[in-house]
Amino acid sequence: MPVIGLGTWQLTKHTADTVLYAIELGYRLIDTSSDYRTQPGIGEAIKKSGIDREKLHITTKVEETDDAYKRMKSNLKELQLDYVDLMLIHRPPLFGAGEELWEGLIRAKEEGLVRDIGVSNYSISLIETLIYKSGEIPAVNQIEWSPFGHSRKMYDYCVEKGIVIQAYSPLTRTRRLNDITLKQIALKYGKSTAQIMIRWSMQYGTVPIPKANQKAHLEEDLRVFDFEINEEDMATLTALNEHYSSLALGRLQYLKAI
Ligand SMILES: NC(=O)c1ccc[n+]([C@@H]2O[C@H](COP(=O)([O-])OP(=O)(O)OC[C@H]3O[C@@H](n4cnc5c(N)ncnc54)[C@H](OP(=O)(O)O)[C@@H]3O)[C@@H](O)[C@H]2O)c1
């Protein structure tokens, strides 16, 4: 899996052109979902780019109320693809761990419609339930993750199980970009606060998927491979943790059921 990706929630303006530009810049992982309404534009951009399909890593999702197998098929149709690299359960259903959805994804994987299957917004106990019931370990847990909201306990659990954490809203939807500590560290490295957040996520060992509509942002978010945050500054950034969530719900969802 590429070490950084492009988020596409709310990337509904000029989706195809923006994603095409992102692919040209070097983005190889693209995250979407049936409810983002960006799948048709992403499909168009992939076609236009002429890129070898094997070089891309496409993540999409099924909703908690879906028939997972059916949704898988319609996602592929919208994306104009034969397979996706990763399919996630977008969030746990109200009751249970989503066992039925998981069975649908397992079937899709067995039929070669998807390379890997995983979950999103899942707590440790919900992941444990899925594994216990099916014997299948999710490849990924896509969760909110930034210096202001993360969980060592979740990270250690995922490492132990071989689960990759995809870090969503890694820029806190811009809400914490002006934090004073973050700004001081950014100044020291001659980088933007967004670049520091992305680099922090990567160095922590997660795969950030920042979303950007603006070309300048798309470019900036990829310029994170020419510097390294030292150990002391990593610790300072990690200590900003307050289990903050930039989503309306206030606190990180995956911590609720731990
Ligand atoms: N699984 C889930 O439940 C879930 C939930 C939320 C998000 N996600 C995924 O994760 C992706 C990223 O999360 P997100 O979209 O919530 O938030 P985010 O990536 O933290 O923030 C996106 C915002 O940051 C701005 N931005 C991007 N680069 C910037 C830069 N260099 N400097 C300043 N601002 C910058 C963007 O502006 P412009 O667009 O104007 O460039 C946009 O307003 C989503 O798009 C989606 O694919 C998944």
Contact 212, 6 (CB under 8 A): yes
**What confidence score (pLDDT) does residue 257 get?**
58
pLDDT for res 258: 43
Residues pairing with 88 in the sheet = 61, 118
Residue whose Cα lies nearest atom 37 of ligand 1: it is 212
Query: Which candidate, 142, 148, 125, places its Cα nearest to that of 208?
Result: 142
| The model's pTM | 0.97
Extract the residue ranges of the chain whose pLDDT is less than 50.
258
d(CA 33, CA 21): 20
CA of 153 to the centre of ligand 1 (A): 24
Q: Which residues is 166 bridged to in the sheet? A: 142, 207
Contact in structure between 99 and 134 (CB atoms under 8 Å):
yes
Instruction: Say whether 22 sits in a helix, a strand or coil.
Output: helix
Please give the helix or strand (H or E) that residue 60 lies within, else none: strand 57-62
pLDDT at 12: 84
How far is the C-alpha of 192 from the C-alpha of 186, rounded, in Å? Answer: 6
Which tens digit of pLDDT belongs to each residue from 44-80?
999 999 999 999 999 999 999 999 999 999 999 999 9
Residue 249: predicted pLDDT: 63
Q: Which residues does a 6 A CB cutoff place in the pocket of ligand 1?
A: 7-9, 31, 90-91, 120-121, 142, 168-174, 177, 192, 194, 209-214, 217, 220-221
Cα separation of 8 and 96, whole Å?
28
Residues 241 and 145: their CA atoms lie apart, in Å, by 10
Mutate which of 12, 201, 206, 217 to test ligand 1's pocket (most atoms within 8 Å of Cβ)?
A: 217
